Amino acid sequence: MGLIQASRGTRDILPDEVAYWQQIEATARDLLHRAAYRELRTPIFEQTDLFERGIGEATDVVGKEMYTFLDRGDRSVTLRPEGTAGAVRAYIEHKLHAQGGVQRLWYVGPMFRYERPQAGRQRQFHQLGVEAIGSADPRADVEAIALAADILRAVGIQDWTLSLNSIGTKADRQHYRDALVAYLQPYANELDADSKDRLTRNPLRILDSKDEKTLAIAKGAPSILDYLSAPSSAHFERVRDLLQRLKIPFAIDPCLVRGLDYYTHTAFEFKVDALGAQSTVCGGGRYDGLISELGGPDTPAVGWAIGLERLVLTMQQQSESLPAGADIYCAARGADAEAQALEIAQRLRQAGLAVEVDLSGSAFGKQLKRADRSGAPLSLILGEEEAVNATVQLKWLASGEQATLRQFELFEQISLLQEKIMLSKPAKRI
Ligand code: ATP
Ligand code: MG
């Protein structure tokens, strides 16, 4: 019988790597809370219609990438390929608009797209995203962008670039679309197969093709920015002005159109060099058309999603390993000493310290080697002698400094110990 492995395009996140995920999640949760965003949890699968209507049938996501199946009741359901459609469905279904004001929502969780797996591209991947629903003000766009920038910085990613564009309103795009098709038509036979197909169905998407020849042709295309109406131009100008005030550097990219149909006005992407082809860690924009498209009241909104796998890959490439593991490693040998060690560990944990107990019963030499490897700054050692005298040996693993204390003294000195342990751990970046 062959061994069963994780399905293609999925992977296990093992404990060594989880430290990065936890750091991202804790950082994001804190920053989002400070910006008045509240968490929303929606189901992993939804009715297929939601994504067909909310993302658009002409997009790659709906056209090629969805995990769609009939359930046992013959209903067509789809594993969510992104978070916005579900968040908007929940917003409408629970009439969150009735609460008035702006609903600032965030989510994190697995998404599913049937893609060719490669570094930074999986079939089950994870996104952290925000949606600010209920404001048409350019400040909402900039607040959301600033939040993404802050999260990237807070997890140690400094060298991102922000690409920015405006794709105007649906009407602006209609004008632009005609001009674009007129420009591209003569090159029709030189475009890659996908783009040729898009010429009639979704010509704007040709601009963000990944095919080099197509890209070269797209470079000469008319710019959408020349087709914006006056109010659309004003919106975009305000966004740029506010970003400058917040000292968030950006570059205008008129070819940035994003994959999804419901976007209006501002579109943006954060990229990092470290990732090669899969360089986009965060994509987002304004989607004023989506809520009414899905049957809700006409409501403007803006949001983004960060791809967490790509963020973790970048962190792993950029930074030293994260501080992980216990504060104290507890080595003991002999039945009495082992029992006392267990008790001491429990009391130290109750006082807030992280304590790993060696359960091997092997020679002290071996236990102390494991203590060294564990990364804990301090080791406690209890042998027969310590058990009889109710003492404990302390060994600071970095300096080798050693001391013997009465066990009750150890408990009296817990806050001192905590301070010394904190000082001997690598500084946290946040
Ligand atoms: P790409 O052009 O790389 O396919 P996309 O435009 O399809 O990206 P979005 O739908 O905007 O991506 O999703 C937002 C972010 O989610 C992306 O910038 C990326 O970081 C991440 N992401 C998207 N698809 C995947 C995937 N299959 N595996 C891992 N991360 C992904
Ligand atoms: Mg994609």
* 278, 257 contact by CB (below 8 A): no
Which ligand 1 atom minimizes the distance to the CA of 65? 27
Ligand 2 centre distance from Cα of residue 85 (Å): 16
As a whole number of angstroms, the distance between CA 362 and CA 356 comes to 15
Q: Which of 426, 337, 425, 329 lies closest to 371 in space, CA to CA?
A: 329
Ligand closest to CA 278: 1
Which ligand 1 atom minimizes the distance to the CA of 258? 6
Ligand closest to CA 271: 1
As a whole number of angstroms, the distance between CA 352 and CA 345 comes to 11
Out of 55, 66, 116, 121, give the residue to mutate to test ligand 1, the one with the largest number of ligand atoms within 8 Å of its CB.
121
* 393, 403 contact by CB (below 8 A): yes
Task: Show Cβ contacts of residue 335 under 8 Å, excluding neighbours closer than 6 positions.
Answer: none
Ligand 2 centre distance from Cα of residue 359 (Å): 48
Q: Is 391 left (phi over 0), alpha (psi -120 to 50) or beta?
A: beta
As a whole number of angstroms, the distance between CA 155 and CA 148 comes to 11
Ligand closest to CA 279: 1
Which CATH number is 328-424 given?
Answer: 3.40.50.800
Phi/psi of residue 398, nearest 5 degrees = -70, -45
What is the pTM for the complete model shown? 0.89
Task: Show Cβ contacts of residue 414 under 8 Å, excluding neighbours closer than 6 positions.
Answer: 348, 351, 353
Burial class (CB within 10 angstroms; exposed 0-12, middle 13-18, buried 19+) of 388? exposed
Task: Show Cβ contacts of residue 27 under 8 Å, excluding neighbours closer than 6 positions.
Answer: 151, 154, 155, 430
The pLDDT assigned to 40 comes to 98
The pLDDT assigned to 430 comes to 38
Phi/psi of residue 115, nearest 5 degrees = -125, 170
The pLDDT assigned to 261 comes to 61
Closest C-alpha residue for ligand 1 atom 23: 307
Q: What kind and span of H or E run contains 166?
A: strand 161-166
Extents of the domains making up the chain: 15-168+228-318, 328-424
Ligand closest to CA 114: 1
Task: Give one DSSP letter per residue of 181-199, joined into a string.
Answer: HHHHGGGGGGS-HHHHHHH
Ligand 2 centre distance from Cα of residue 97 (Å): 30
Q: Which of 301, 299, 236, 304 lies closest to 265 in space, CA to CA?
A: 236
Which CATH number is 15-168+228-318 given?
Answer: 3.30.930.10
Which ligand 1 atom minimizes the distance to the CA of 304? 14
Which ligand 1 atom minimizes the distance to the CA of 260? 10
Ligand closest to CA 210: 1
- Long-range contacts (CB closer than 8 Å, 24 or more residues apart) made by 392-396: 392/344, 395/368, 395/371, 396/420, 396/424
As a whole number of angstroms, the distance between CA 106 and CA 33 comes to 10
The pLDDT assigned to 429 comes to 43
The pLDDT assigned to 6 comes to 96
Out of 280, 302, 310, give the residue to mutate to test ligand 1, the one with the largest number of ligand atoms within 8 Å of its CB.
280
Ligand 2 centre distance from Cα of residue 257 (Å): 13
Closest C-alpha residue for ligand 1 atom 21: 307
| Dihedral in degrees, nearest 10, Cα atoms 289, 290, 295, 296 | -80
Ligand 2 centre distance from Cα of residue 344 (Å): 52
As a whole number of angstroms, the distance between CA 209 and CA 202 comes to 12
Q: Are strands 378-382 and 391-396 parallel, antiparallel or unpaired?
A: antiparallel
Which ligand 1 atom minimizes the distance to the CA of 127? 16
Q: Identify the three-state secondary structure at position 303.
A: strand
**Which ranges of the chain have pLDDT less than 70?**
258-261, 319-324, 426-430
The pLDDT assigned to 322 comes to 62
Lining residues, ligand 1, CB within 6 Å: 82, 113, 115, 120-122, 125, 127, 259, 278, 280-283, 305, 307, 309-310
Q: Hey, what are 127's tokens?
A: 């996104």
Out of 24, 118, 122, 127, give the residue to mutate to test ligand 1, the one with the largest number of ligand atoms within 8 Å of its CB.
127
As a whole number of angstroms, the distance between CA 84 and CA 32 comes to 17
The pLDDT assigned to 321 comes to 59
As a whole number of angstroms, the distance between CA 226 and CA 107 comes to 35
* 167, 265 contact by CB (below 8 A): yes
Q: Hey, what are 382's tokens?
A: 């209890």
Ligand 1 centre distance from Cα of residue 82 (Å): 9
Q: What kind and span of H or E run contains 27?
A: helix 15-34
Ligand closest to CA 125: 1
Q: Is 293 left (phi over 0), alpha (psi -120 to 50) or beta?
A: alpha
Q: Hey, what are 187's tokens?
A: 């090159």
Closest C-alpha residue for ligand 1 atom 6: 259
Ligand 2 centre distance from Cα of residue 231 (Å): 30
Ligand 2 centre distance from Cα of residue 328 (Å): 45
